[in-house]
Amino acid sequence: MTAPAETTIDMAEPAPLRVLDIDASDIDDYSDLIQRMTSREVTVALVRGVFPADAAAELIARVEAGEGSSRLTEVAPQFRIYSLGLALDTAESLEQYLSEASLFLPECRGIFRGLLDYFDWVPQLLRRFSGGRQVEIPAQNGRIYNPVTIRRLPAGGQIPPHCEYEQLNRPAYTHLKGLIGSSPIFSYYTTLRPPEQGGQVRVSTMAWGDVAISEDGRSNAAAVIDQYESMTFLPNVGDFILFDGGRQYHQVMTVGGERPRWTIGGFLSESAERDKVWYWS
């Protein structure tokens, strides 16, 4: 089978970032994708139509009907970010994160009842991109990390410029840093429903080290990101996007219209020994 051409999306010429546009039927032609992303040969991979559209629609319908609402959190009121499942990058401590994960996971499994098993689907997909290496969720003393967050951005919602390396010195990351060592962190999500307007993920050529970082991990990225070339992506329903979110600054553009932006995703990294892949949210 011939691999599809490497293409870019919503870009100015020449391409500021290296992008792969992959059809779901050609995934097995990219078994070294994570290795290539680690070595910076690829910055963004967009995999088309890999998640069933009917499952995406039903999942949203269940959440909109109130399922999982006891674990729904407005992560950042000023940005109108709503999340089912606490992400490590917003947790105040690892203890809080692990405790919340233990409560959320049974509810999340209930939301997926009768649909695909998301907790098998993610590692199976990532294993195909990692040369068949083992793909696992981190755990501390038998308490597993949260493997998934479902995010809703209504009109006015946005995620400001950031990169995941900004979070590494926070207390919640101490255990994870011991597992991944110096391996880069990659961000991924699947679009469950795109918004009517906006909601693109913008990946910048501005990278970790290009702006000063305060002790609490904050930067002035928002003030300077427009000085750098970037590319924007708006994956359709069922599309999976994986990008170098640890090193590259990125943001989600402001959502408009009546239809919220719904996504499901998390993060991954190779282990410090590079013999397995860890994933979490």
Q: What is the pLDDT of residues 21-76, one digit of tens each?
A: 999 999 999 999 999 999 999 999 999 999 999 999 999 999 999 999 888 888 88
What is the rounded end-to-end Cα distance, in angstroms, of the chain? 34
pLDDT score, position 225: 94
Beta bridge partners of 188: 242, 266
pLDDT score, position 217: 65
CA distance 158 to 167: 19
| Bond into 14 cis (ω within 30) | yes
Ramachandran category for residue 83: left, alpha or beta (phi over 0 → left; psi -120 to 50 → alpha):
beta
Q: Read off the pLDDT of residues 147-162 as tens digits, 9 standing for 90 and up.
A: 999 999 999 999 999 9
Indicate the fold that domain 19-280 takes in CATH.
Jelly Rolls (2.60.120)
pLDDT bracket for residue 219 (50, 70, 90): confident
CA distance 103 to 110: 12
Find the largest Cα–Cα distance for the chain.
Answer: 50
Q: Percent helix, strand and coil across the chain, each rounded to 5?
A: 30, 30, 40
When pLDDT is averaged across residues 189-197 and rounded to a whole number, the result is 97
pTM, whole model, 2 decimals? 0.92
Ramachandran category for residue 49: left, alpha or beta (phi over 0 → left; psi -120 to 50 → alpha):
left
